[in-house]
Structure 1
Amino acid sequence: MSLSKPKRKVDEAHRKFQERWTLQYFFVEFNGNATCLICKEKVTVLKEYNLKRHYSTKHGEQYDKELTSQQNLFHKSKKDANAAVEASYVLSELIAKAGKPFTEGQFIKDCMQKVADILCPEKKNLFNNLSLSANTVAERNSKLSSDIYDHTEITDSAQLAIFIRGINDQFEVTEELLSLCPMHGCTTAKDIFGQLCDAIEHAGLPWNRLVSITTDGAPKCLNYEHVMSVVLKCINYIRSRSLQHRQFRAFLEEIESTYGDVLYFTEVRWLSRGNVLKRFFELKAEVKRFMEDGRMDVPEFDDPKWVMDLAFLVDITQELNVLNLKLQGPGQLITAAYESVKAFSTKLRLWKTQLSAKNLTHFPTCRSLVEEGTSFSSDEYASAIENLLQEFDQRFADFKTHRDTFQLFADPFSADVESVPSLLQMELIDLQCNSELKTKFREAQGQADKTGQFLRELPPCFPELSKVFSRVMCLFGSTYLCEKLFSTMNFNKCKYRSRLSDAHLEAVLRVSTVTSIRANGFPNF
């Protein structure tokens, strides 16, 4: 008698068709059998292994490839869409930095489509997906866009620009536009301070981390309004009327003048004032003749004292221009600005002494008039230099307060240990005795980027010195951002775009003045 168990019949297993097999293997149950939806073949034994083997051997390779192809298609479509959005951001950034109207986006897209028709027609659809309408470009720049500067643009709306400068633990400096506040009402100190407080609180910046505030623009240093008023009257007469302007240029060309025109004057810029005065002085004879022919009498041209005042103003503003240019270098540290101001103050003292002795070595325009026989009042002009020196000493009094700190930052290896705070003395001695760090500092000295690299490499045993150095690096050392903003604002808010809204103007200025958009990253796609 056999002890083996009888074989189990299939029917006794009570196998049931599972609904999930339809989605996994394309089978349905029909009359107790599993029927393939693809080839209509029947599988009598309802086992998952049988259905899976049927699908894998007869249909799997074909349909798995199609599924992968469909998935790749969706992934490619998403990738192309993301690339189109990113390209839209890049082009919107370029439009803002170039100061072009938002409507230029559609023109750029049309140009790219024409180019694609010729160079890569198979990829034309990629360019069709670019969204560069005026509203889109404005929105992109609003998303991309975050010193204190006050300027009135073409719509007579004063703009207060607030820049922030900060430093992280790695001594990496960030210097960007925080806010552009339209001043539709008064522009008193109280109003400006209120806007500043609102901007800082809106950005969530802690007041206890504030190191300093730097403002651009100040009252006049020289009281020579009697000269500037006449100069502006003549320039406005010539340039504000197209007929006179054309006639004046034709007149200069006819007499073969060195220059072909007079320059416009911008009230808030010292550089503009210096260039205008110099050109006006060199064309004073031509301007006088033209004004006389136009029946507009300017008696000041016949006053030797007024002409000498003009010459003095030309010489001193040229020197102020040189100083202004030194203060406008991008990435400049506060120590460089301190040295430039200190040097200019020293020059003023020298000029005062020389003018008192009627030594006009550094005043070539005045010297040329003296050589022609014009009298020169040495005491009067020496007094003007003295007033200018007092103005500088008053406005840069903070520089004197922090002089020792600036000198320590500029060259810690030459600093007098006894002159620094006692908290820094031990660290300073250790630093000065480290020959390796001294060599690295000499290589980085005077260069902002290399100075930051040197400070990053400072060992952790100099915590107090690092704090002092980081505070110095937080100070604005240049008016470059203000000058750049001024130029960009004038270019964008011109008479052809005077309806540019405050919000869009702020976005454009923030994008155009930021160092690198990609450093902050585009929005996630």
Structure 2
Amino acid sequence: MTMDHVEKNIKKRKYSEDFLQYGFTSIITAGIEKPQCVIYCEVLSAESMKPNKLKRHFDSKHLSFAGKDTNCFRSKADGLKKARLDTGGKYLQHVAAVEASYLVALRIARAMKSHTIAEDLLLPAAKDIVQVMIGDEFVMKLSAISLSNDTVRKRIDDMSADILDQLDESTDLAKCSQLLVYMNFWRVLSRSGDFKDEFLFCKPFETTATARDVFDTVGSFLKEHKISWEKDVDLDFNVWLLNESPKVIRTHCMIHRQILATKTLPQELQEVMKNIVSSVNFVKVSTLNSRLFLQLCNDLDAPNNALLFHTEVRWLSRGKVLKRVFELCDELKTFFNQKATSQPHR
């Protein structure tokens, strides 16, 4: 018997309410329905979705519950469903609480903070604010938001599983051309009903990076995820798209024009940029200099304590470099005076 045949048979086994007499409810894991014990919350394999196997588990581990009626197990099953995150759980029925949980998880991921910060700091702080500003009766609504470590991790995994739509090409320092795709979508379930921008996917070009290659790469991704071209209404794309979706709106990307402008800087600005990059490199390339500059910034209560490297990647990193140097201008001057270096700087 092949593995595909075994998996097919497993998926056909369905949960029955009669299994509740043995203390079992159901849970969906990776698209497969499995029996879950309501007493110890133990999840058995899909092959155990049989009365004789469930009864054997009950008799061997929970014989003390033999005199309990079905209502006792049903009450435990309801409590279990309220606490878990699978699609069959009652928790997902609270749309507002779930949306709030996703939004908090998104901010944690973007800030690269520990997942435990939500439950340890953010939720208690939010309750304190609501209690003081609005009233105790609204604090209970915040208690419905699940922000445990596992919940935040699952939310982040869920949001990062599939992302889509506006596209452009980026070249990294290893000379590897990559296609970055972003999407702008209308959040139907959001109470604010606004548009949202998110990163979709990134795939490298193995050989050439022509317009046809871009079209084929995006088309392959859409086909893989069963997304029709007809659902796309606005793309920064090429003429091949019109054959797939004649009603699509084509938008020209503005980033390339900004990059072209940076290639024609006046000589004075180029000299300033050269000196700034040289100064930053003097600090950053040396581990000792980096530590000394970090300590100096901390001693002077600077707004930041580290400089940023400038790279020639096609994105506009120089703007962030210049902004950070401007913020730490006084600290840099003090550092170079202390080092008494002959390295060129301004």
TM-score normalised by length of structure 2: 0.41
Name the one with the larger strand percent. Answer: 2
Q: Which structure is richer in relative contact order (CA contacts within 8 A, separation 6 or more)?
A: 1
Q: Is the radius of gyration larger for structure 1 or structure 2?
A: 1
Greater helix fraction, Structure 1 or Structure 2 = 1
